[in-house]
Amino acid sequence: MRIYQLQTTWKDGNDMGGVSFYFKVEPHVRKGEELQMIKQAAKDFLMTDEGKKINKSNCNGNFGWGDIFEIPHEMFNRYGLYHHEGPKVFHSDTVEHDVPILF
């Protein structure tokens, strides 16, 4: 399996920061499809009762990239993605932390 990094960024006035999420990726997921798989896992999660509750209470109906830590690992696993702690990165995307995930 290869490692994929999703890097989120945020800005609040003069303050800026970011968070990186790492995933192990199964070989059947083609390079460049990782971000779409993450979006699909988020979409699936937001259709569940738990996802709807979190979206309403924590995100004010505006689920964004910074909220993906709320998604259970199993939702990603369905798409061949597994949470991983690791520095070896072969492909990554950067998205704005507080921007809603657009499907």
Contact 8, 96 (CB under 8 A): yes
Residues 19-65 have pLDDT tens digits of 788 899 999 999 999 999 999 999 999 999 999 998 888 767 888 88
Residues 62-79 have pLDDT tens digits of 888 878 888 999 999 999
88 in a structural domain: yes
Overall pTM surpassing 0.85 (yes/no): no
55 in a structural domain: yes
Q: What is the dihedral of CA 36, 101, 66, 32, to 10 degrees?
A: 20
State which residues form the domain around 6.
Answer: 2-96
Spatial CA neighbour of 37 closest among 87, 98, 88, 93: 93
102 in a structural domain: no
86 in a structural domain: yes
- Number of folded domains that form the chain: 1
